[in-house]
């Protein structure tokens, strides 16, 4: 008899949509099944090219991601899309969004779309997204698009999982400034100026190029700016071309092995921290209790060491 | 008989230099004494104003910090200086630097200077710096200057401990670009253009102002640029004035209570994570063993879950 997990893993590797969906749910629920499954799948990962897509809400990231997915499908490549929303609770909203997007690619088994959201106060979304990326990688997807809903610290952590990061900007969103949130300039490998048919696009592009002039090249790569009108599928080829150039640049970079080690070191530490925090805090101290401790510390009624020792003592009780 | 720790705490609170120095060493060594002492001191913290100073090496941060310290001393305020270097190992270098700096303020008991460096691969420098800040706060220092040696992720985490962050830039350091490293634009409450007697200063200031134009105001504060020549003590008063304006702005901000809670929530989580990682990894898995696991995972010879479970299992053995 085969191990049922091994069967499941085989189905995932064969690209079976239901098997992949079940695995995604297991990852979201942080079930022990997910880990057991991923152990089977892990040796078969490392092939997919992961593209992170970030930018403020309203910049048209979803449309852009869909156009990119369609482009790669026309090239005969299989595609996975993970839409990540650190801010929203785990609700039907994400699922509804998936259904709408799925309809655009209805009947195409070569594309898999899934939303992920945060549950609880302990984070862990970057970890879940990382696991989902491994899953789609093992499922044979050639390209994985990881799309964030907003731009915050959580999102930046998520796109660090990618091989190539696109930052999507839009000219004249109320104030141009809106688009240039914390850390964005530094994480972009390619900048996409979406909705570039707008009147203000030229001026905005000049500003953007001037700022990028000031950002140091990383390993000899100067981030280019690609003009797009995603809704009209304009600029998709140019963007795909830049992604391809970046991919070749990275493949030839001398620091590739070192980057892989940094990547997995961070992954292991994050996984370990998540496990420890979950075990210690999640199982024994509720969010309300934790928040109460924080308030007491802020009011100098309890010292931080006492608070942490209290949390640690609780977790030892069982 | 008095508890010797309570005596020690009383000496620290009275500003006794030797008692503070011993406590600093205890914090650096992560001894259990440090925690016990800080428990006594914590209720007496929350008075000091913490100023973070960051910028690339060679921008003259130490000189600037010394001028600021002298300025506050002239105002009759007591000052603590913590110089943080996440990159350098814990060597005599830091201590030598302290001695040289101490000589400038020789015989002044109202100023306390200490360098802190990282030891080991598990980080914890932000935590140690936080503890050191609490210590100097309880010791009655009115102003605490937290100075980083470089600009990296570690340094940015360190200056987040501050109430007000100064980013120090210098025109024409080889390429102007060098000064605008990751995240710098976003963390600065005040930008200091040091060595502003240089020829290129005007052009650089214009560039800087243009970039700051694009950064959104945080709670109604637009970061100003202050021109300085720290070596000639030019601009010190203007900088102190801007710091004072920022302090008043912060004191009046409506989100003050909420910011305090975020601050302490992060602190508690970081402390808890540090404790857990130290206990789990530090005591049972050497850096070499951990690096070997990372290599095996990167080579797909071991899956990350197995690696983490191995680490967790080791820590349970005792």
* pLDDT tens digit sequence for B56-83: 777 888 899 999 999 999 999 999 999 8
Residue A216 has pLDDT above 80, yes or no: no
At residue B11's C-alpha, the angle toward residues B7 and B13, to 5°, is 115
CB B204 within 8 A of CB B173: no
Mean pLDDT (whole number) for B156-179: 70
Better-predicted residue by pLDDT, B133 or A210: B133
What is the pLDDT at residue B132? 94
Which residue do the tokens 């802020």 mark? A298
For B295, the closest chain A residue by CA position comes to A261
Lowest pLDDT segment from A99-103, B117-121, B311-315: B117-121
Mean pLDDT (whole number) for A283-302: 88
In a domain, A123, yes or no: yes
Determine, for residues A303 and B272 on separate chains, whether the beta-carbon distance falls below 8 Å: no
From B196, B220, B252, give the residue that closes a domain: B252
What is the pLDDT at residue A297? 93
In a domain, B31, yes or no: no
Lowest pLDDT segment from A171-180, A231-240, A248-257, B114-123: A171-180
Closest CA to A236 of A171, A192, A185, A173: A192
What is the pLDDT at residue A108? 77
Q: What six digits make up the tokens of A116?
A: 């992920």
Q: B113 pairs with which residues across the strands?
A: B81
Residues of B in contact with A214 (CB under 8 A): 176-177, 180, 207, 211
In a domain, A60, yes or no: yes
Highest mean pLDDT among A185-189, A265-269, B5-9, B115-119: B5-9
Domain match, B164 and B213 both: yes
Cβ neighbors of B13 (< 8 A, separation 6 or more) are B41, B44, B138, B139, B140
At residue B290's C-alpha, the angle toward residues B286 and B292, to 5°, is 115
Residue B90 has pLDDT above 50, yes or no: no
- pLDDT tens track for A116-151: 875 544 556 778 889 999 999 999 999 999 998 665
Mean pLDDT (whole number) for A265-280: 83
Q: Given A35, A216, A276, which is nearest B280 (Cβ)?
A: A276
Q: Given A183, A264, A305, which is nearest B186 (Cβ)?
A: A183
In a domain, B30, yes or no: no
Cβ neighbors of B318 (< 8 A, separation 6 or more) are B284
> B166 falls in which pLDDT band (50, 70, 90)?
very high
Handedness of CA A224, A226, A227, A231 (dihedral sign): negative
Better-predicted residue by pLDDT, A240 or B281: A240
Sheet with A49-54: list strands edge to edge: A111-117, A79-85, A143-148, A49-54, A164-169, A190-193, A225-227
Instruction: Tell which phi-psi region holds residue B219, choosing left (phi > 0), alpha (psi between -120 and 50) or beta.
Output: left
Which residue do the tokens 């976003």 mark? B186
CATH assignment at residue B240? 3.40.50.300
Domain match, B223 and B271 both: no
Determine, for residues A216 and B181 on separate chains, whether the beta-carbon distance falls below 8 Å: yes
Determine, for residues A300 and B43 on separate chains, whether the beta-carbon distance falls below 8 Å: yes
> A175 falls in which pLDDT band (50, 70, 90)?
very low
Domain match, B214 and B180 both: yes
Q: Which of B176, B209, B291, B308 to mutate to test the interface with A (most CBs of A within 10 A)?
A: B308
Lowest pLDDT segment from A74-88, A251-265, B77-91: B77-91
Which residue do the tokens 């990382």 mark? A130
Full DSSP string of A225-264: EEE-BGGGTBSHHHHHHHHHHHHHHHHH-TTHHHHHHHHH
Domain match, B236 and B304 both: no
Closest CA to A236 of A60, A74, A64: A64
Domain match, B197 and B272 both: no
Residues of A in contact with B290 (CB under 8 A): 265, 268
Count: domains in chain B: 2
> Residue ranges of the alpha helices (H) in chain B?
4-13, 17-28, 32-41, 61-74, 92-104, 125-138, 153-159, 184-187, 201-214, 236-252, 256-277, 287-298, 304-316
Q: What is the average pLDDT value for chain A, to the nearest integer?
A: 82
Determine, for residues B216 and A178 on separate chains, whether the beta-carbon distance falls below 8 Å: yes
Domain match, A248 and A269 both: no
CB A225 within 8 A of CB A212: yes
- C-alpha pair distances (Å), A279 with each of A31, A129, A272, A275, A314: 14, 20, 11, 6, 11
In a domain, A3, yes or no: no
A226 vs A230: CA distance, rounded Å: 11
Better-predicted residue by pLDDT, A90 or B169: B169
A129 vs A159: CA distance, rounded Å: 10
Closest CA to A143 of A117, A168, A113, A115: A113
Q: What six digits make up the tokens of A188?
A: 């972009």
Mean pLDDT (whole number) for B167-176: 67
What is the pLDDT at residue A234? 94
Q: What is the average pLDDT value for chain B, to the nearest integer?
A: 82
For A278, the closest chain B residue by CA position comes to B273
Can you tell me whether residue A59 is helix, strand or coil? Answer: coil
Determine, for residues B297 and A263 on separate chains, whether the beta-carbon distance falls below 8 Å: no
Mean pLDDT (whole number) for B172-188: 55
Residue B154 has pLDDT above 80, yes or no: no
Domain match, B285 and B150 both: no
pTM listed for this prediction: 0.66
A305 vs A313: CA distance, rounded Å: 12
What is the pLDDT at residue A30? 78
At residue A54's C-alpha, the angle toward residues B270 and A35, to 5°, is 55
Domain match, B171 and B199 both: yes
Determine, for residues B300 and A268 on separate chains, whether the beta-carbon distance falls below 8 Å: no
Can you tell me whether residue B201 is helix, strand or coil? Answer: helix
Residue A161 has pLDDT above 90, yes or no: no
Closest CA to A230 of A52, A71, A106, A50: A71
Highest mean pLDDT among A199-208, A255-264, B125-134, B204-213: B125-134
Cβ neighbors of A64 (< 8 A, separation 6 or more) are A53, A166, A168, A192, A194, A228, A230, A239
Residue B86 has pLDDT above 70, yes or no: no
Determine, for residues B42 and A271 on separate chains, whether the beta-carbon distance falls below 8 Å: no
Burial (CB count <10 Å: 0-12, 13-18, 19+), residue A2:
exposed
What is the pLDDT at residue B153? 55
Determine, for residues A276 and B271 on separate chains, whether the beta-carbon distance falls below 8 Å: no
Domain match, A131 and A209 both: yes
- pLDDT tens track for A15-26: 999 999 999 999
Residues of B in contact with A215 (CB under 8 A): 177, 180
Cβ neighbors of A244 (< 8 A, separation 6 or more) are none
Better-predicted residue by pLDDT, B240 or A276: B240
Residues of B in contact with A185 (CB under 8 A): 185
In a domain, B15, yes or no: no
Alpha-carbon torsion, ordered B301, B303, B306, B307, to 10 deg: 70
In a domain, A5, yes or no: no
From A252, A286, A303, give the residue that closes a domain: A252
B146 vs B81: CA distance, rounded Å: 6
Query: Count of CB atoms within 10 A of residue B86's CB?
Result: 20
- pLDDT tens track for A77-93: 999 999 886 544 433 34
ipTM of the complex: 0.76
What is the pLDDT at residue B160? 74
CA atoms within 13 A on the CB side of B266: 13
From A202, A217, A252, give the residue that closes a domain: A252
Residues of B in contact with A281 (CB under 8 A): 272
Determine, for residues B298 and A178 on separate chains, whether the beta-carbon distance falls below 8 Å: no
Full DSSP string of A23-56: HHHHHHTT-HHHHHHHHHHGGG-S-SEEEEEE--
CB B155 within 8 A of CB B57: no
Determine, for residues B307 and A180 on separate chains, whether the beta-carbon distance falls below 8 Å: no
Residue B8 has pLDDT above 90, yes or no: yes
Q: A168 pairs with which residues across the strands?
A: A192
**What pairing do the DSSP bridges indicate for beta strands B79-85 and B111-117?**
parallel
- pLDDT tens track for B228-267: 999 999 999 999 999 999 999 988 887 778 878 888 888 8
- Its domain, for residue A277, covers 265-316
Residues of A in contact with B160 (CB under 8 A): none
Domain match, B223 and B308 both: no
Determine, for residues A35 and B178 on separate chains, whether the beta-carbon distance falls below 8 Å: no
Q: Which of B171, B264, B299 to mutate to test the interface with A (most CBs of A within 10 A)?
A: B264
Lowest pLDDT segment from A73-82, A207-216, B90-99: B90-99
Residues of A in contact with B161 (CB under 8 A): none
Residues of B in contact with A180 (CB under 8 A): 214-216
- How near does any CA of chain B get to the CA of A297, in Å? 7
What is the pLDDT at residue A118? 57
In a domain, B71, yes or no: yes
> B139 falls in which pLDDT band (50, 70, 90)?
very high
Domain match, A145 and A283 both: no
Domain match, B135 and B215 both: yes
For A37, the closest chain B residue by CA position comes to B305
Highest mean pLDDT among A4-13, A197-206, B283-292: A4-13
- How near does any CA of chain A get to the CA of B81, in Å? 23
Better-predicted residue by pLDDT, A45 or B55: A45
- How near does any CA of chain A get to the CA of B263, in Å? 8
């Amino acid at each position: 008899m085969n191990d049922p997990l091994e069967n499941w893993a085989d189905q995932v590797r064969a690209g079976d949509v239901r098997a992949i969906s079940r695995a995604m749910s297991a990852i979201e629920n942080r079930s022990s099944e997910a880990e057991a499954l991923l152990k089977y799948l892990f040796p078969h990962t490392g092939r997919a090219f992961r593209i992170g897509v970030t930018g403020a809400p309203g910049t048209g990231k979803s449309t852009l991601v869909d156009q990119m997915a369609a482009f790669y499908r026309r090239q005969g490549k299989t595609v996975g899309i993970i839409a990540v929303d650190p801010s929203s609770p785990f609700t039907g909203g994400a699922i509804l969004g998936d259904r709408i997007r799925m309809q655009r690619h209805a009947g195409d088994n070569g594309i898999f779309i899934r939303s992920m959201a945060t549950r609880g106060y302990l984070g862990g979304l970057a970890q879940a997204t990382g696991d989902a990326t491994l899953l789609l990688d093992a499922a044979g997807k050639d390209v994985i698009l990881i799309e964030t809903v907003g731009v915050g610290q959580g999102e930046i952590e998520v796109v660090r999982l990618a091989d190539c990061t696109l930052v999507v900007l839009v000219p004249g969103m109320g104030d141009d400034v809106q688009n240039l949130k914390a850390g964005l300039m530094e994480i972009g490998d390619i900048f996409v100026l979406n909705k570039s048919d707008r009147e203000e696009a030229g001026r905005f592009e000049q500003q953007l190029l001037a700022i990028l002039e000031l950002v140091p090249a990383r390993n000899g790569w100067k981030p280019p700016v690609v003009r797009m009108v995603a809704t009209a599928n304009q600029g998709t080829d140019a963007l795909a071309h830049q992604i391809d150039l970046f991919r070749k640049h990275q493949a030839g970079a001398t620091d590739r092995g070192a980057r892989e080690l940094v990547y997995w070191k961070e992954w292991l530490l994050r996984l370990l921290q998540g496990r420890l925090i979950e075990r210690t805090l999640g199982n024994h101290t509720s969010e309300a209790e934790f928040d109460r401790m924080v308030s007491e510390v802020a009011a100098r009624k309890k010292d931080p060491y006492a608070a942490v020792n209290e949390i640690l003592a609780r977790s030892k009780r069982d």
